[in-house]
Structure 1
Amino acid sequence: MTAPVTSGGVISERPLVLDADGTFLRTDMLLECAWAGLGTKPGETLRAFRHWRDRARLKSELAQVAPLRVDLLPVDPEVKALADEALAQGRSVALASASDLSLVGPLAEHHGFDRAFGSDGRVNLKGAEKARALVAAYGEGGFDYAGNEAADMAIWERGADAVVVGDRASAARLRSAGRRVTELAGGWAWADLARAMRPHQWVKNILLVLPVIAAHDFALPTLLLVLIGMIAFSAAASCIYLVNDLLDLEADRLHPKKCHRPFASGAVPIRAGMAATLVLGVVALGIGAALGPAFLAVVALYMALSLAYSLKLKRMRWIDIATLASLYTIRVVAGAAASGVDASFFMLVFIFPVFITLGCVKRLTELTLATSDDRLPGRGYGRPDREDLLNVSILGMVGALMIFFGYSFSEQGRALYPDRWILWVALVPIAWWLFRMVRLGWYGKQDYDPIVFALKDKRGVGLLLITLSLMFYAAGLWQEWFALWF
């Protein structure tokens, strides 16, 4: 048997002990359990937090409320390679974690490690307690240890060689004490956190401009207020996206594309996501308060409904689509609240079935791209539901077109659009656009978010611009603008 080589080329046959959270794993199992529990059993999870001062018991109860699939937890590839090399060379490899033993044991077994140490509901195996357990098992200086934070210093001081993941200060301190240190990068990138916030989704907040367009109010102060409102909604949306990703970790890891999201893949730690969520929420509500109580109420409603969607509603058939349509519609109401422009009742009645159609398109796309007939992870639909979704999307499309046609006969429609027949012509590109969206969703040729796809789809954008041009012409705006210019 060949003995392994550790830092500095020194030969060692000592056991290699790995910390789990933040070292072997690119996540934290306590926080994983907490968020998984909030997503599935929020009441039991919140009750478990009555033991927040007794960390060992808290970890035990959360592990019972929301047991994790340890085979899905993201692993640090460098630490995993180090462990695999040690195993191949005949060394004993163990996991020693402050997480509950009911999780650490299966994790160690899944990766072929020899032994597991963890908290047991009474003792929180962290810092000095972990050091005592390892010395009792292997003797003073009888093991090499891999950790990632200052709390691991108590273990490094009683072990032999040290592997330090992403903690330069601890690595420097150990070297100054004469210890051999292998330093691994670890850490995370701000760019990955920004990606988790999904800034590309902010384009959906263009919906806040619709009331201004419908009212033909293009004054600069009005547009500036809408722009500020869009910033608030962007912060609110990113806040909820982060919460949604934290609640959906297991479902995302089972998804062919979502498994690469920053939290699901472990590229960004859960703690960083929680801090960013708090900051974004404060920004959204702060701007909302500055724009007035009406806009603040709309932002708060949007965030509350989005949170309810993340926690429960997205798993309920049809209710999830109605909720998605409501969230899109709330953006339009927010545009009216920010600018002070009255939101037309007909406009709201028209756009809601449009968004029902787009909600169905979102689910159609997901089901078409699914690899089996099973229900989508975290959703209430399977591939056999595609025809029902198609039927509802067509009903939404037909309903929206009928409402638009009826609007042309309303008092407001006659006042704003003298040439009503041009509004009827505008029905053609609207119908074409909606049919195109449904068709592309049916064949799985869309992005997972139809609004984002629509704003990037050149043909679709062309149809929407044709529609707007026809509506402006029917309102006499083109004639008015050309008269001003020429």
Structure 2
Amino acid sequence: MTIEKPLVLDVDGTFLRTDMLYENFWAGLGAAPVKTLVACVRHIRNPAMLKAELARIAPIRTDLLPVNPEIAELALQCRLGGREVVLASASDNTQVARLSADYGLSEHVFASDGVSNLKGGAKAQALVEAYGEGGFDYAGNSSVDMPIWEKAENALVVGHVPSARALAADGRNVVEFPGGWELRALFKAMRPHQWVKNVLLLLPLLASHRFEMATLVPILWGMAAFSLAASAIYICNDLLDLEADRLHPTKCRRPFASGEVPISVGMVAMAALSAGALLIAIGLSAGFLLVTLLYMALSLAYSLKLKRMRWVDVTMLAALYTIRVVAGASAAAVEVSIYMLIFIFPIFLTLGCVKRITELSKANGDERLPGRGYGRGELADLRNVAGIGIVGALVIFLLYSVSDQGLSLYPTTWLLWLAMVPMAVWMVRMVNLAWHGRQDYDPIVFALRDPLGLGLLMLILSLMFWAAGLWQQWFG
């Protein structure tokens, strides 16, 4: 009876659509950022030790990692046919062994052990010692796998590896499998639909009635800077939330959680987007640069820790929305009223609660949201806090309408009072839609796409323009 040669699979980028080193790094940043960064600095010259240390700091759930469907199907067919399927990886052996057990593959694995980094030539030598030259088939995805393919009987190439063409030219049997990533998936990870939230930078322009190009153009540049900064933070947030997203019914399809885009590509994109945002900010003003840095720092703190703290997270969401308004004022050198900031903060606090109410309303079970501090038991409390935000915003708006600044900008006070009716209806409606699970996961994005809600907002704005005498000024 002839025993078939084993099929040896590389892990990172071959069997998996991700890289366990980067998975560990970001899991470590989320769980123990200081320990993770210290380990990276201390072991940067010793990859095997670095991988072992990161695996100890933040073990990852290997059963949740995205697999390459074609390679996983091949492994399954080989197993069913009685052929041994072996994992061989430069990742740490504890995790490779766990991954192999998750999928019922061979107990015998080849991996880094904290001393030796099993990569390239070292992996080829280990496989030859175990199976002999030509005694195995090997699947890989990188030019670093060339020494191993040269020792294997059959070379299975995942993705586009130009150097593998030399194997076919030498008459070796090469089987190609699809792989790689697409630019549109990275663009999706940047969440361009979220850029609409940066219309909040226009609020100081509207409130001050400064409708001239000298005010508008800097704000548009500011919106571009905040869009780039927001995309960088969204990528960072997704990389920190990989495990939580994979446990979510819809977020599991996000580009990094699903393996559509490599984590390393996301890290490069995040750095480039951050640099672009800061370059624009420097070109606008020192004040706008400081506001941009504050926004990015708070967003990073939110992603790392604060979003997991109950009640702190909705307060931070409100603060991040409010900073956009401050940024608009800073970009155009427009004075922002303290009344305006005090008025919009409770509105944004309400919208932060709406975001969490929506997530809980759409959740499948009663357990706490992955990576968040809320369960269904907090639904009523979130609705109550949202209600407090609504009342607070209306009271502050009423006080503003009779203040010296309010009377100077909006002399027809009763029209401001009338605008409070659609304002209250809009906010109550947002909470009600969230309570019944009919909201988007981001309330600002939903508000800018909701026809009825937009109608209410336009009515509020029209009444405020009327109260300010702008309609008469523009149209006589």
Q: What is the aligned counterpart of 1:17 among 8, 18, 34?
A: 8
Q: What's the CA shift for 1:349? A: 0.4
SS of residue in 2 equivalent to 1:464: helix
Q: 1:207-232: CA deviations, max 9, x gaps?
A: 00000000001101211111110000
Q: Equivalents in 2 of 1:284, 1:123: separation in Å?
A: 41
Q: 1:365-391: CA deviations, max 9, x gaps?
A: 001111111111100110100000010
1:276 aligns with 2:254: no
Q: What is the aligned counterpart of 1:35 among 10, 20, 26?
A: 26
Q: Equivalents in 1 of 2:268, 2:38: separation in Å?
A: 23
1:86 aligns with 2:78: yes
What residue identity is the alignment partner of 1:38? L
Tell me if structure 1 keeps the 8 A contact 2:142–2:161. no
SS of residue in 2 equivalent to 1:478: helix
Partner of 1:449: 442
Q: Equivalents in 2 of 1:454, 1:110: separation in Å?
A: 43
Tell me if structure 1 keeps the 8 A contact 2:6–2:84. yes
Q: Equivalents in 2 of 1:365, 1:174: separation in Å?
A: 54
1:322 aligns with 2:321: no
Q: What is the aligned counterpart of 1:254 among 235, 247, 264?
A: 247
Partner of 2:456: 463
1:104 aligns with 2:96: yes
Q: TM-score, normalised by structure 1?
A: 0.96
Q: 1:324-346: CA deviations, max 9, x gaps?
A: 00000000000000011111111
Tell me if structure 1 keeps the 8 A contact 2:202–2:219. yes
Q: What is the aligned counterpart of 1:436 among 407, 413, 429?
A: 429
Q: What's the CA shift for 1:167? A: 2.7
Q: What's the CA shift for 1:44? A: 1.3
Q: What's the CA shift for 1:188? A: 0.3
1:137 aligns with 2:130: yes
Q: What's the CA shift for 1:264? A: 0.1
Tell me if structure 2 keeps the 8 A contact 1:239–1:280. yes
Q: Equivalents in 2 of 1:199, 1:84: separation in Å?
A: 38
Partner of 1:215: 208
SS of residue in 1 equivalent to 2:15: coil
Q: What's the CA shift for 1:479? A: 0.5
Q: What's the CA shift for 1:170? A: 2.8
Partner of 1:404: 397
Partner of 2:110: 117
What residue identity is the alignment partner of 1:235? L
Q: 1:103-148: CA deviations, max 9, x gaps?
A: 0001011111113111000000001111111111111110000000
Aligned pairs for 1:38-187 (under 5 A) are: 38-49=29-40, 50-114=42-106, 115-187=108-180
Q: What's the CA shift for 1:168? A: 3.3
Tell me if structure 2 keeps the 8 A contact 1:164–1:170. no
Q: 1:182-214: CA deviations, max 9, x gaps?
A: 101200000000000000000000000000000
What residue identity is the alignment partner of 1:160? E
Q: 1:414-457: CA deviations, max 9, x gaps?
A: 00011000000000000000000010111111010000000001
Partner of 1:9: none
Q: Equivalents in 2 of 1:271, 1:221: separation in Å?
A: 41
What residue identity is the alignment partner of 1:112? G
Q: Equivalents in 1 of 2:178, 2:164: separation in Å?
A: 11
Q: 1:55-93: CA deviations, max 9, x gaps?
A: 000000000001010000000001111111211222110
What residue identity is the alignment partner of 1:30? L
Partner of 2:372: 379
Q: What's the CA shift for 1:284? A: 0.4
Aligned pairs for 1:215-364 (under 5 A) are: 215-364=208-357
Gaps of 5+ in 2: none
What residue identity is the alignment partner of 2:58? A
Q: What's the CA shift for 1:171? A: 2.7
SS of residue in 1 equivalent to 2:109: strand
Tell me if structure 1 keeps the 8 A contact 2:143–2:161. no
Q: What is the aligned counterpart of 2:411 among 396, 399, 418?
A: 418
Q: Equivalents in 1 of 2:363, 2:44: separation in Å?
A: 40
Tell me if structure 2 keeps the 8 A contact 1:422–1:471. yes
What residue identity is the alignment partner of 1:482? F
| Divergent runs of 4+, >6 A | none
1:204 aligns with 2:169: no
Q: What is the aligned counterpart of 1:367 among 360, 365, 370?
A: 360
Q: Equivalents in 2 of 1:116, 1:151: separation in Å?
A: 19
Q: TM-score, normalised by structure 2?
A: 0.98
Report how many residues are paired.
474
Identity of aligned residues (%): 62
Tell me if structure 2 keeps the 8 A contact 1:63–1:100. yes
Q: Equivalents in 1 of 2:36, 2:179: separation in Å?
A: 30
Q: Equivalents in 2 of 1:136, 1:353: separation in Å?
A: 67
Tell me if structure 1 keeps the 8 A contact 2:143–2:164. no
Q: 1:292-336: CA deviations, max 9, x gaps?
A: 100000000000000000000000111111100000000000000
Alpha-carbon RMSD across the aligned residues, in angstroms, is: 1.0
Q: Equivalents in 2 of 1:95, 1:318: separation in Å?
A: 45
What residue identity is the alignment partner of 2:122? E
What residue identity is the alignment partner of 1:94? V
Tell me if structure 2 keeps the 8 A contact 1:143–1:159. yes
Tell me if structure 1 keeps the 8 A contact 2:18–2:65. yes
Q: Equivalents in 2 of 1:59, 1:317: separation in Å?
A: 33
Between 353-362 and 127-136, report the one with greater CA deviation.
Answer: 127-136
